[in-house]
Every structure is written in C-alpha cells, then in structure tokens.
A and B are shown apart, each in its own frame.
Chain A
C-alpha cells in the first residue's frame, strides 16, 4: 500500500486507541475500540492477510466486543467519577510509557538482522498467500497440536465463564 494510505490508517488507529483510553463513558470507550478493530482489519487486508482480516471482524469486533458491551449494559455502568487515577499517577505513567515507547521504537528500527531480510516487503508474494487454503494447510499440519489444545482451552473457558457468572442458588 502507499505511504499516504498507511499514514491515514495509522492516524485513525491512534485516534481510536486514544479514544479507548481517554473517553470517560465505558460504552463510548467500547465503541471506540470497535472502530479501532475495524481499521486494524483494513490494515490486515492491505497486508495480504484476507482470512485474518475477516476473522478480526467476525471474532473480535463481532463477538468479543459484543460481550464487553453486554457486561457494561448488565452492570449498568455509568461514567462513575473518577475515571482516571490522580495526577501523580498519571504523570508517572505517561513518563514511564514514553520512555518505554522510545526504547522499543529504537530497538525495532535499528536495522540489520530481520529488517534486511532479502524477502522483504517490496518483493512479490508467493501464490495463495493469506488465503484460507494456505492458513488451513499450516493449521492442520504443523500447528495441529496447538489447534487441538486451543479447542480444549475454549471448552474450559466456556465452562469457567458459565460457572463464574451464574447466580448462586441459595
């Protein structure tokens, strides 16, 4: 994709992420996250990951965030003050986070190693990259064990969630 399009998408993503963190009403925070997840799916599409983009919308934006909204609605949460920590905590957190960001960006863009891999972003991709068939082949051959373990994890999570959220029958 062109750098201009990337910058536009990056700006939208950052605005959405800031919306999650800065908006005081939890419902608006959740909606801001949904918008961010959408733009993330667009970025995935432009990175030739079609199935992952579709899954992002179906699973993340379509199911997980609905769950969040449900819980916010059920608990009838308003924007209870205080929405954020007191000033000292905020300043320290911002300072620490910026140091962290600087260090990470410095590390990630230092060049050499993976960054100068001959395959790279500019070279064309092999046929069927990002397609469902390619992902499925990998998933059911090399990653089969992880796939089966994940299904067990999901069953455990379902049972756990139902047991935890049930009303106790007194």
Chain B
C-alpha cells in the first residue's frame, strides 16, 4: 500500500481554494459569498494539516486551531453586519449594495 504524496494534498487544497475564489467572484448573494470564503479558509486548513503531517511537527495543527477560531469570530461579525444591512436596504444582492450611503 503506497503512500499519498504531499503534492496531491496541496493540489486538492489549491483546487478547493480556486472553487472558493470562483464562488466569491460569481455569486450575487452575499451570504453565499461568505460561504465561499469559509471554503477558502478550509482549503488553507487542509494545506496546513498536510504540511504538519509531512514535517512531523504539530505547529500546523495549532495554526489550524487559530484559523478556526478566527473564522468563527469573522462569521459571527460578518453575519451580524449582513443582518444590519438587510434591515436598512432590504436586499442581500451584491450588485445592489454598491454605495456606502443611503
């Protein structure tokens, strides 16, 4: 039983990251854009854990721990902002949320 080389994990992480970037660029619903950002963060987590396994050090896993915490904080605040914006503008379409006033 051969072992999966590191480059496969890194490629998978890159592919997931690119799908997340596509989501941010193409989708018009701001919540789905947020979810694509979470997808990008997860791709980065995968790269960290794979490298941690490759280099036999747990620093990568500690970094993933912090990335998850920061992602939770960011999701909470971001969704609160979306709720506040929705209350004022009645829309979550990115194309219509283009000016900072009114």
Residue from B15, B23, B62 within 8 A of A101 (CB atoms): B15
Separation of A71 and B39 alpha carbons in the complex (Å): 18
Instruction: Give B55-102 interface residues, CB cut-off 8 Å to A.
Output: 55-56, 58-59, 61-62, 64-66, 68-77, 79-84, 86-87, 92-93, 95
Q: In the complex, which residues of chain A have a beta carbon less than 8 angstroms from the beta carbon of B39?
A: 17, 20-21, 33, 36
Q: Is the CB of A51 within 8 A of B54?
A: no
Q: In the complex, which residues of chain A have a beta carbon less than 8 angstroms from the beta carbon of B23?
A: 20-21
| Per-residue B-contact encoding for A54-86, CB less than 8 Å = 1, 0 else | 011001100110011001101101001011110
Q: In the complex, which residues of chain B have a beta carbon less than 8 angstroms from the beta carbon of A75?
A: 82-83, 86, 92
Q: In the complex, which residues of chain B have a beta carbon less than 8 angstroms from the beta carbon of A109?
A: 7, 10-11
**How big is chain B's contact interface, by range?**
35 or more
Q: In the complex, which residues of chain B have a beta carbon less than 8 angstroms from the beta carbon of A167?
A: 87
Q: Is the CB of B28 within 8 A of A84?
A: yes
Q: Is the CB of A121 within 8 A of B68?
A: no
Looking at A2, A68, A94, A150, the one whose CB has the most chain B CB atoms below 10 A away is: A68
Q: Is the CB of B58 within 8 A of A130?
A: yes
Q: In the complex, which residues of chain B have a beta carbon less than 8 angstroms from the beta carbon of A143?
A: 62, 66
| Per-residue B-contact encoding for A144-162, CB less than 8 Å = 1, 0 else | 0010001001101110111
| A96 closest partner in B (C-beta) | B25
| B84 closest partner in A (C-beta) | A164
30 contacts between A and B (CB under 8 A): A2-B1, A6-B4, A14-B15, A17-B19, A21-B19, A21-B36, A44-B49, A47-B49, A49-B64, A52-B49, A75-B92, A80-B93, A90-B26, A97-B22, A97-B25, A100-B18, A101-B15, A104-B17, A108-B7, A109-B10, A115-B6, A117-B54, A121-B5, A123-B56, A150-B70, A154-B69, A161-B76, A161-B80, A162-B80, A165-B83
- CB within 8 Å of B: which residues of A? 1-3, 6, 10, 13-14, 17-18, 20-21, 26, 29-30, 33, 36-37, 40, 43-44, 47-49, 51-52, 55-56, 59-60, 63-64, 67-68, 71-72, 74-75, 77, 80, 82-85, 89-90, 93-94, 96-98, 100-101, 104-105, 108-109, 111, 114-115, 117, 119-123, 125-126, 129-130, 134-135, 138-139, 143, 146, 150, 153-154, 156-158, 160-162, 164-165, 167
